[in-house]
Structure 1
Amino acid sequence: MVGISPEESTVWRMMQRAQVRITRRLESELLDAHDLALASYDVLLQLSEATEWRLRMNDLADRVLLSRSGLTRLIDRLQRDGLVQREACADDARGLFAVLTDLGAVRLAEATPTYLRGIRAEFLDVLEPEELAQCTAMLTKILVAPR
């Protein structure tokens, strides 16, 4: 059995709590100011950064922190609100694209200053420049580690 030390357990739990606290605050600010959930903002942002504002649903699911079924439900809501639309893939009859609409781009643009202020207040301004560099190095190491 693999165990972890009390110190390792503490660091792990602190990382989880920090992520949850920041996420909850960002979510609250986006909902209060723009009636836009953080997951919805993330989907709109991912689509805005994609070529022609479109991504295959599978690719979008890989980029956001949602299950495939959770993403499907979220895209349903965003489509009802006119922020995204679905389009069939010409080369794959079963494939679908999620496409950012003009209205979705406007909502994203309106919400982005709130999102960026939240990131700055809850994360960036709390750390010194050298701490940000250390954080970048540590997270890069985690993300590129073989699984």
Structure 2
Amino acid sequence: MGETRWLDEREARAWRGMINVMPQLTAVLDRRLLRDAGLSAAEYTLLVPLSEAPGGVLRARDLGRMVCWERSRISHQVIRMEKRDLVVREECSEDARGSMVRLTDAGRTAIVAAAPAHVAAVRQYFIGALTEAELDVIGPALERVLDRLPDDDG
């Protein structure tokens, strides 16, 4: 193994900014979501892709991949959300081992009610802190970072 190539001051500032902002921004947005809409961040995380899916239904495995969650986390969260009547689980007609997660009317009502305040908070704490030029750079830059990350298979 070669000699370690340490981060220079500019690189370290960018990296520290990234690792410091994400948990704090997420915490602020999560608290606002709970206060404004009565939804946990985990609930909102699953309601968004379900609300955007055709018919409001996704295979549990695909939902997990979309939000980067392990199978057990999806399973436990869906059980909690079923108790609140936000979603229902259904058998998968193509594969008896799989299950489908369907958005209920109550789930759709919850996401429709929560989205405006959540978007306003994202705009207040993230979008509003950036210039137009920074927005043009940050989106593509973060997409490139994501593209470099290994998938589940390494």
Instruction: Check whether TM > 0.5.
Output: yes
Q: 1:80, 1:55 → 2: CA distance?
A: 19
Query: One-letter code of the match for 2:37?
Result: H
1:32 Cα offset (Å): 1.1
Report the RMSD for the aligned CA atoms in angstroms.
1.5
Please point out which of 4, 7, 28 is paired with 1:5: 7
Which 5+ residue runs of structure 2 have no aligned equivalent?
Answer: none
SS at the partner of 2:96?
strand
Matches within 5 A, 1:1-147: 2-7=4-9, 8-145=11-148, 147=150
Could you tell me how far 1:128 is from its partner in structure 2?
0.5
SS in 2 for 1:46: helix
Q: Which segment is superposed worse, 40-49 or 4-13? A: 4-13
User: For 2:6 and 2:42, how far apart are their aligned partners in 1?
Assistant: 32
For residues 146 and 16 of structure 1, do their structure 2 counterparts lie closer, same or farther at Cα, with a shift above 3 Å needed?
A: closer
CA distance in 1, matches of 2:5, 2:79: 42
Once the two structures are superposed, what CA deviation does each residue of 1:95-143 show, in whole Å capped at 9, x if it has no partner? Answer: 1001100110000011111110110011001100110001012112112
| Partner Cα distance (1:88, 1:137) in 2 | 38
Cα gap change, 1:37 to 1:3, in 2 (>3 Å)? farther
Residues 69-110 of structure 1 show CA distances to partners (whole Å, capped at 9, x for unaligned) of 111111111000000000101110011001100110000011
TM-score where L is the length of structure 1: 0.92
Q: Distance in 2 between matches of 1:54 and 1:16?
A: 33
Question: Whole-Å Cα distance in 2 between the matches of residues 114 and 126 of structure 1?
Answer: 17
The DSSP-based 3-state class of the residue aligned with 2:143 is helix
Shift of 1:67: 2.2
CA distance in 2, matches of 1:65, 1:17: 20
- Residue 145 of structure 1: CA displacement? 2.7
Name the CA distance, whole Å, in 2 between partners of 1:13 and 1:124: 19
Amino acid at match of 1:60: L
Distance in 2 between residues matched to 1:65 and 1:112, nearest whole Å: 21
Task: Give the unaligned 5+ runs of structure 1.
Answer: none
Aligned amino acid, residue 5 of structure 1:
L
1:146, distance to aligned residue in structure 2 (A): 6.3
